[in-house]
Chains A and B, each alone.
Chain A
Amino acid sequence: MSLFGWSGDTRQVRAESVRTEWLTTLVCTLMILLLVFAGGVEADDGLRGSGDLALVVERANGSLQVVETTGNSSLTRIEGLGDLSHASAVFSRDQRYAFVFGRDGGLSKVDLLEGTVVARVIQSGNSIGGAISQDGRLVAVSNYDPGGVKVFSTDDLALVADIPAEFGTGQRSKVIGLVDAPGRRFVFSLWDAGEIWLADFSKGDEPSISKFRDIGRNPYDALITPDGRHYIAGLFGEDGLALLDLWHPERGVRRILPGYGKGEAKLPVYKMPHLEGWAVAGNLAFVPAVGRNEVLVIDTGTWLEAGRIPVHGQPVFVMARPDGRQIWVNFAFPKNDTIQVIDAEGLAISKTLKPGKGVLHMEFEPRGEEIWVSVRDLDELHVYDTGSFERLATLPAQKPSGIFMTARAARIGL
């Protein structure tokens, strides 16, 4: 369905008599008003921008919903994207196209305005995420099977480079934590090998690869700071994180917060936590502790622990509101019915919300006044005011998971 052509459900109300004509007029006027305000889809000239759009992954059905965040409404649904469990998306720099990474190795280029899939390749057997290069010309996918990274042209999804994650004697590692970095580089981590690789495409489409070994056991995800300087991989196999300064890769990777669990037994981890660039608020980074009901606070000046905040369960996403004042946290199964909000100044919980079972993801609107939340088991999207915590909108969605706003297009590492 074309959004340009989208005009809603314009039913005609037939007047049965002159006496009911005024009623007809009233109804029609109300419907038009409703369409204008509820839809907010297009201007009078049939054009619209894409800066207030978002993609919502409906993971069970392999579909995406295109929503808009000005009127908080759904615009269209795009189908036929395969297995979208753990799917994510990055955006073209013009914010019109999304590149969607499916679990089944599918890489799809989606036109948000037309609501169509414009290109699609099955590039591996099993993939986990991806990134778009600084110049917007390359899209990279991290694969579990066969383990490695493949890089494609954003024009037509033609293969540009294939980087098998080989280590040891002919083994291949699952790749996680793939992000873009300034200088047309991609950075990623090898789950099985405990390595961080830096793929530099600054000289052309043949990358030069730097490998950092022994960075720690089982890196599970990674983030790059919003300024694009520091790459941080979280470790599942041991307590600690691995830090690479991309201004000085020659200095190597160093361990930060080593042994934060102090040797105490971990809780069982039923859902792997996530790391993303917006864990950083001011000079603090907020990251999930693995197997512990805590959020760890790191001073980004010294890279030392600046505190830890006890929370409701094991954190999955820890996200700073764009102004850095609040940190929103959701939790792993079986405590995934709850969101907690941390006051970044007092480093304490300031609000607990119970949206419903299966809170899988949250995404702030670009300036942070509202947040979108996917509530899987209710088949709902919730929009909350981040000041009053009031729920402003509820939209139906089929087993929603990731929510991705087009404003990501302009941010390093997203």
Chain B
Amino acid sequence: MKWLAQVIFSLLLSGLASAGQPLPERQAELRYLLEQDCGSCHGLTLKGGLGPALTPAALAGKPPEFLQYTILYGRLGTAMPPWRGILNEDESRWLAERLLAGEMQP
């Protein structure tokens, strides 16, 4: 049964991963949102606060799908809220990839 779960999970992830790029204007909004609003817990410089650091070093080894999923659905038992409704799948994916690439450091 474990293989089935894995298949379903990867199908789910590939569904999430079929990402289009947000438009340039929206990208600017997302950068601002990340800095100012994610920044209120993760720090404006993304070096952490109540929430953990989001620097490339801190995120090393984490798959983009994991980050995307965390952004969209939050993390139960922590202060991380679900951003679904504010961010769509493409936008959360785009943020996850930029974070991993270190392109969001101010």
User: Which A positions have Cβ atoms within 8 angstroms of B?
Assistant: 59-60, 83, 85-86, 103-104, 125-126, 128, 144-145, 174, 191, 218, 220, 236, 268-272, 333-334, 358, 376, 399
Contact = CB atoms under 8 A, between A and B. Distances in A.
Given A85-B49, A144-B48, A268-B74, A376 B36 contact: yes
Contacts of B39: 85
A104 B41 contact: no
Interface stretch (B9-17, B62-70, B79-87, B90-98): B79-87
Contacts of B79: 218, 220, 236, 269, 272
A85 B81 contact: no
Interface in B30-44: 35-37, 39-41, 43-44
A392 to B, nearest CB: 27
B103 to A, nearest CB: 18
A236 B80 CA distance: 12
Q: Nearest 3 A-B pairs (CB), nearest first?
A: A268-B81, A85-B44, A333-B37
B28 interface: no
A125 B48 CA distance: 10
Contact of B49 (A86, A334, A358, A399): A86
A83 B40 contact: no
B45 interface: yes
A12 B41 CA distance: 50
Interface of B: 35-37, 39-41, 43-45, 47-50, 74, 79, 81-83, 86
27 contacts: A59-B44, A60-B35, A83-B43, A85-B44, A86-B49, A103-B44, A104-B45, A104-B47, A125-B47, A126-B49, A128-B50, A144-B48, A144-B49, A144-B50, A174-B50, A220-B50, A268-B74, A269-B79, A270-B37, A270-B81, A272-B40, A272-B41, A272-B50, A272-B79, A358-B36, A376-B36, A399-B36
Contacts of B49: 85-86, 103, 126, 128, 144
B50 A85 contact: no
A60 B35 CA distance: 9
A334 B43 CA distance: 18
Mostly helix, strand, loop or mixed at chain A's interface? loop
A358 B83 CA distance: 18
Contacts of A220: 50, 79
Contacts, number: 59
A103 B50 CA distance: 11
Nearest to B78: A218
Contacts of A145: 48
A191 B51 CA distance: 12
A271 B79 CA distance: 9
A334 B45 contact: no
Nearest to A59: B44
Given A103-B49, A144-B49, A269 B43 contact: no
Contacts of A126: 43, 47-49
Nearest to B45: A83
B41 to A, nearest CB: 7
A41 to B, nearest CB: 31
A410 B22 CA distance: 51
A218 B50 CA distance: 11
**Residue of A85, A126, A191 ringed by the most chain B CB atoms within 10 A:** A85
